[in-house]
Amino acid sequence: MTIAISIKDLRKTYANGFEALKGISLEVKEGDFFALLGPNGAGKSTTIGVISTLINKSGGSVEVFGRNVDTHVYETKLDFGVVPQEVNFSQFEKVQDIVMTQAGYYGLPRKLAKERCEKYLKKLGLWEKRSDRSRSLSGGMKRRLMIARALVHEPRLLILDEPTAGVDIELRRSMWKFLTAINDNGTTIILTTHYLEEAEQLCKNIAIIDEGNIIVDTNMKKLLAELDSQVYILDSQEEIARSPVVELENVNVRSIDSHSFEVTVAGGRSINEVFALLDQQGIQISSMRNKTNRLEELFLSRLNDN
Amino acid sequence: MLVNHKFIAFETIVIKEVRRFSRIWVQTLVPPAITIGLYFVIFGNLVGRRIGEMGGFQYMEFIVPGLIMMSVIQNSYSNVVSSFFSHKFQRSVEELLVSPVPNYIILTGFVAGGMARGLAVGMIVTTMSLFFADLHIENPLITVAVVLMTSIVFSLAGFINAVFANNFDDISIIPTFVLTPLIYLGGVFYSIQLLPPFWQLVSAINPIFYMVNAFRYGILGSSDVDVYWAFLILAVFIAVLYSGCIWMLRHSTGIRA
């Protein structure tokens, strides 16, 4: 399979002496939906800045679809689109002009640029706003505009730096749907996010970066399988007189209130076994959720280990 | 990047630049027209009548080329410095930096934008001057060549200023403390023959003096300097400033961490 991004021994030391990247190596396969996670200041945005040539690296190499970004500047830039963390378009320009201008930078003829502009503004729900000045857009619309702008030249690789930060839940979910669809159509996506639920929902592979080092680089399913125990909150439609009796090894049940209780399942036990016992006691469960995000638990434990 | 793609990218930058200064025409096109109009009325008409002749021409006729050149210089410079600095300030320069547009196309696009505004204001001032003086262009080719080359020089200079600027104060220091004195001492309002020998020598090291006089030669057919010197100076400035801009873009000066 083609490698979309290959990073080798990437280093970045800023002018003030801060060492943001300490020789990281990473590979992202074509078609992947890849999460790059890490706490604030870990080096996520620096990594993305170096890949997208907005930040000069201090050492190492970056290849995009097999081509070195230093020696094949123009070819590699055609292959990726970038959605930065901060809004970086002119606040005085119209929505349509921002996308059309970006298309022009990539050499798209005007007719094709217009078609693409319409296509992506419609897909991202901004077509009605096309003649508005960008400063009048809401925060969520500005983020969607940056995605439309990054996609106008239809890159093979889309790099998103916290695309849903500060976006409401409804909009976030519609963006997830959109990103999943373009990934299904073959676009490789690299995503940094603070919403671990987002990474868990969307991404196939994951790397965690901390203090300029990659501390985890694995498959999302494999990583989640490493969880020793999971804590669920179960809600019952009817009032529960007393705490349910679940006599299973490695399973612990604790009552929260008259309708809810907490179940901790560990040691390879399945939650289905708990459901079966509850059913025998006549307790009907109406809803179930994880007490904490599974990836969040792993993320915190890995950071603590590091 | 293919040649036609480069042309589309260049065209895009120029259209964006022209759209920018046209959108804010009250700030970009009207003030220089008013200022130069006042020069025509006060210096050319009221004071000029008492002065009489300068360099063998009516004073109004004498100052027209200098005032046109002054507006071209100031507006070419300020368009590029304010536009490119705004791109840096709003971070919209990143749109360009992540795209495959080569550095020389970025630079040429911004310079063309600066030239467009400089020449637009120059045209406005020229049209206004027709109300005050009979304008006959003696050497059209020289006139056009000088005005184009001068606007290139000051667009490039504006680009360098924008690259090094860190805040809005930095983009007004050079125009206020360097450009304006050089223009005023560059023979816009007087002939160098009026100055004592020492100050004539000092004027000779002011590059704007050559540009103004070469332009005056193009329009009136009279100049304090040899017009070929002016072309040589313009060519050298263009070569040096262009190379400097390309070097800075290649080394990411002021635009990449």
Q: Please give the tally of structural domains in chain B.
A: 1
User: In chain A, what are the domains?
Assistant: 3-224 (3.40.50.300), 228-305 (3.30.70.1560)
Residue B126 has pLDDT above 80, yes or no: yes
Most confident residue range from A219-233, B115-129, B174-188, B219-233: B115-129
ipTM tops the 0.85 cut? yes
Q: What is the DSSP letter of A258?
A: S
Min CA distance, A90 vs chain B (Å)?
6
Question: Residue B255 domain-assigned?
Answer: no
DSSP reduced 3-state for A192: strand
- Quote the crossing angle between the two packed helices B3-23 and A95-105, to the nearest 10°: 150
Q: Is the minimum CB–CB distance between B27 and chain A shorter than 8 Å? A: no
Question: Residue B257 domain-assigned?
Answer: no
How many helices (H) and strands (E) would you count in chain A? Answer: 10, 14
- DSSP conformation letters of A219-245: EHHHHHHT-SEEEEEEEESS--SS---
Partner residues linked to A216 by β-bridges: A208
Question: Residue B48 domain-assigned?
Answer: yes
Residues 6+ apart with CB under 8 A from B25: none
What is the span of the domain harbouring residue B137? 3-250
Q: Give the model confidence (pLDDT) of B50-85 as tens digits.
A: 888 888 888 889 999 999 999 999 999 999 999 999
Question: Residue B89 domain-assigned?
Answer: yes
A90 and A145 in contact (C-beta within 8 Å)? no
Cα dihedral sign for B104, B110, B113, B119? negative
Question: Residue B180 domain-assigned?
Answer: yes
Of B2, B9, B90, which has the smallest distance from its Cβ to A105's Cβ? B9
Q: Is the minimum CB–CB distance between A66 and chain B shorter than 8 Å? A: no
Q: Give the model confidence (pLDDT) of A50-83 as tens digits.
A: 999 999 999 999 999 999 999 998 899 999 999 9
Question: Residue B158 domain-assigned?
Answer: yes
| Radius of gyration of chain B measured on its C-alpha atoms | 19
B191 and B158 in contact (C-beta within 8 Å)? no
Of B4, B8, B252, which has the smallest distance from its Cβ to A104's Cβ? B8
Higher-pLDDT residue of A166, B158: B158
Q: What is the pLDDT of residue A292?
A: 67
Question: Residue B65 domain-assigned?
Answer: yes
Are B97 and A82 a contacting pair at CB < 8 A?
Answer: no
Give percent above pLDDT 70 in chain B.
Answer: 100
